[in-house]
Structure 1
Amino acid sequence: MLTLIPIYLFGKSYYELAKLHNRSAWGYAFLGAFIFLGAQFVLGFLFGLLILTTNIDLDIPDFALSLIAIVFGAACTYGIENLLKRKWERQPKADSIESDLLDQ
């Protein structure tokens, strides 16, 4: 239940970033949500793998585990968003440049 708010916020953040740089806004909104959920899945898989290989009993409360997963997912999503932002600022979309030239 806690993850619904970050999913919405990161989806909105990716949506606004894509709209700002003339990209497919809804596609990138879904990408932001899927990156967040995928990062949480990867963290859960790694925790499970750690528990199976080391035979230790992690006695972490569910709420703390949820917070750790949210922070990890947020960090991954924020990092990828910054990478996209830097890439798009260096290389603007070719369609927007060509459409400006055709209007002149």
Structure 2
Amino acid sequence: MLSIVLLYFIGKYYYELAQEYYKHRWGYGILGIVVYYAGSAIGGVLVALADDLFDLGINFESRINLMIIAFSFGVSLAVLVYFYLNRRWKKSVVVPKDEIDEIGRSPQN
């Protein structure tokens, strides 16, 4: 139940970000959920490789350990991608110049 609420809020924040910058809202809402799952999978693989290489002794049979690993990596990647998109779209916003006041004026050099 908690994971459904988490996915809802991740999708909601991506949806609202896309709406703010006039992008395809549903596509980016779904992208947020996909990024969360991709981060969870990548984090699981990285932790498993680190456990194998450094013999950390992580108990992968415990559901709580797996949930903590998946949650932390998934949310971290979702937040990073969110801030990356926000920053990239902020830079690409074109501020329209109010040119109606410039009509009839001579160009100033």
TM-score, with normalisation over the residues of structure 1? 0.76
Aligned residue number for residue 42 of structure 1: 42
Aligned residue number for residue 101 of structure 1: none
Cα distance between partner residues in 2 of 1:52 and 1:2: 30
Which ranges in structure 2 are unaligned for 5 or more consecutive residues?
97-109
Any conservation in 1 of the 2:15–2:29 contact (CA below 8 Å)? yes
Cα distance between partner residues in 1 of 2:2 and 2:69: 12
Size of the aligned set, in residue pairs, is: 94
What is the root-mean-square deviation in Å for CA atoms of aligned residues? 2.1
Aligned residue number for residue 83 of structure 1: 84
Structure possessing the higher radius of gyration over alpha carbons: 2
In structure 2, give the amino acid aligned to 1:67.
I
Displacement of 1:5: 2.1
Instruction: Give aligned-pair identity as a percent.
Output: 28
- Greater relative CO (CA pairs within 8 A, separation 6+): 1
TM-score, with normalisation over the residues of structure 2? 0.73
Question: More displaced, 1-10 or 77-86?
Answer: 1-10
Displacement of 1:30: 0.7
